[in-house]
Amino acid sequence: MSVMQAMTPEPAMRPDADWWRGAVIYQVYPRSFQDSNGDGIGDLLGIVQRLPYIASLGVDAVWISPFFTSPMKDFGYDVANYRDVDPMFGTLADFDAVVETAHALGLKVMIDLVLSHTSDQHPWFKESRQDRENPKQNWYVWADPKPDGTPPNNWLSIFGGSAWHWDARRCQYYLHNFLASQPDLNFHEPAVQEALLDVARFWLERGVNGFRLDTINFYFADKQLRDNPPLPEDRRNATIAPQVNPYNYQEHIYSKNQPENLDFLRKLRAVMDPWNAAAVGEVGDAQRGLEILGEYTRGDDLMQMCYAFELLSGTRPTAARIAEVFATVDRVAADGWACWAYSNHDVMRHVSRWGLNPAASRAFATLLMCLRGSACIYQGEELGLPEAEIGYDDIQDPYGREFWPEFKGRDGCRTPMVWTDSNLNGGFSTAARTWLPVPGAHLGLSVARAETDPASLLHHYRRAISFRHAHRSLALGAQTGMHAQGDVLVFQRSCGGGDCAGNSAGETMFCAFNLSDEPAQVRLPPGNWLQVGQELNGAHAGADGIAKLGPWQPCLALKTG
């Protein structure tokens, strides 16, 4: 062994149909990204203002959380008009400016589509609830009460209590898997499916490159409305509020994950394909998430990507746990494609959730860029923002208000982005009061301060993303041999000439990560290896092929023979 040192056109099939494979996607929560008009709430023109920053990270796409017309009971995830922008975020012309600017900067644009339910203020629901004879009477999941007047079955809402709400006009219950003001659409009705496919067409025609599909496995409910069975206590492993929310006491085999969903996803894929658009689906299932990911992304006629919640877990993943997750992926989703994330708008920020020090934050950032799949980065993750402490009087999230104080909701990860260390809202807004307060503890981690520090986490994310793009095996290649050697996670990424565009000779990358506070060592496999990744604090292997890893240090090497 030797070791060496070292604007959118009309739909047409374009050569970048697989742009999503191995892509790095940056999630923007528009309420909290940049306020352009001083009302204390982020907006679309604010996103336009900050798109050059996003592009400077080297990411491939931006995912924008909902900005549609909404009463904002669940902050945009309750849609009242799928084809317009809520005035607090701007106008359709402002959205067009987002798309045009992003494309000029080389960024794809993905938007959050919430198809499983609408707001109760949506015209569809207003018509549906009028009576049992109107043209949209079957567009939502309506059901008669049991003889004693109670709900038709035992299904529970994620936000607490029964998933059924009584409507006095129809004298029926309607289904709501989330808030009572978020009635579930009836996907068994063909007209509903076609209306939603038209929504996708509308945004594709405006230039979007894809969708993040909220709660993708919730679209269909069991036609017979059968009761869900109880979930044994030892299997209650939900990411959000696992102990205090009774939703986690059921195995949701009838209220979601229905087989009919696959046919609808094929229809959606057929709508997207002429535009080379891609989708990433959110699989909301703590027990079968990876299995469903495999089902929904298998082949070339379903969704391109899905993400489950294994790396959004409350416990910091060990080398053994990550190896276990990917062993499961190999078993149930080998033909599919995952999109991995550590943080998003629904979970505590991972710096706080996992108790990471700066070295650990860097190691996990590098690891994310080396894993097989695509990757999502949540705004502020690249700054190392911790979870914000929000007092009860400032809580906006209905989830937090329901389960306070045992679960404080999701506002702590949704506070405004900090652009400067100014006490005036960190450069987010000129308003006297912002929709959520800007934490004083975040000001010292602002973009402006991080830009001036070559050793900042921000610059490390840029280097890690650049490293991924420089080595096609990391974006596109197979992943083999993943295992844990104590606290060290070891695996290889490789692709042949046909898989690695621009590299006809192919490429094999050895990856080892010390995921602990203690030193460790690892031996490189037989062969000749070129040491890479020094800009990511990569460890060197000696002539004997043994790399001595410091705490939270990777070892990365390319095979040369």
Structural domains of the chain in order of their starting residue, each with its CATH number: 19-118+191-464 (3.20.20.80), 478-559 (2.60.40.1180)
Q: What is the CA radius of gyration of the chain?
A: 24
Residues 6+ apart with CB under 8 A from 91: 44, 85
- 60: pLDDT strictly greater than 50: yes
- 225: region left, alpha or beta (phi > 0 left; psi from -120 to 50 alpha): left
317-358 pLDDT tens trace = 999 999 999 999 999 999 999 999 999 999 999 999 999 999
Amino acid at 447: V
Q: Are 353 and 412 in contact (CB under 8 A)?
A: no
Average pLDDT over residues 18-35: 98
Instruction: Report the pLDDT value the prediction gives residue 505, as an integer from 0 to 100.
Output: 67
- Mind giving me the DSSP string for 64-80? E---EE---TTTTSS-S
Q: What pLDDT band is residue 2 in, cutting at 50, 70 and 90? A: very low
- 14: pLDDT strictly greater than 80: no
Percent of the chain past pLDDT 90, that is, above it, reads 86
Kindly report the three-state secondary structure assignment for every residue of 113-131: ECCCECCCCCHHHHHHCCC
Higher pLDDT, 163 or 496: 163
Higher pLDDT, 132 or 7: 132
Average pLDDT over residues 8-32: 80
Quote the mean pLDDT of the chain.
94
404-435 pLDDT tens trace = 777 788 999 999 999 999 888 999 999 999 99
Q: What pLDDT band is residue 403 in, cutting at 50, 70 and 90? A: confident
Amino acid at 27: Q
Joined together, the tokens standing for residue 525 give 């496999």
Instruction: Report the pLDDT value the prediction gives residue 399, as an integer from 0 to 100.
Output: 75
What residues are labeled active site? 214, 282
Rounded Cα distance between 542 and 350, Å, is 34
- 234: pLDDT strictly greater than 90: no
Q: How far apart are the first and last CA of the chain?
A: 10
184-226 pLDDT tens trace = 999 999 999 999 999 999 999 999 999 999 999 999 999 999 9
User: What is the b/e burial string over 142-161, where b = at least 16 CB atoms within 10 angstroms of the residue's CB?
Assistant: beeeeeeeebbbbbbbbbbe
Q: Are 171 and 131 in contact (CB under 8 A)?
A: no
pTM over 0.85? The answer is: yes
Rounded Cα distance between 514 and 328, Å, is 22
Q: What pLDDT band is residue 402 in, cutting at 50, 70 and 90? A: confident
Instruction: Report the pLDDT value the prediction gives residue 240, as an integer from 0 to 100.
Output: 58
Rounded Cα distance between 512 and 434, Å, is 43
Percent of the chain past pLDDT 70, that is, above it, reads 95
- 241: pLDDT strictly greater than 60: no
CA distances for 300 relative to 201, 217, 269, 291, 307, angstroms: 20, 18, 9, 17, 17
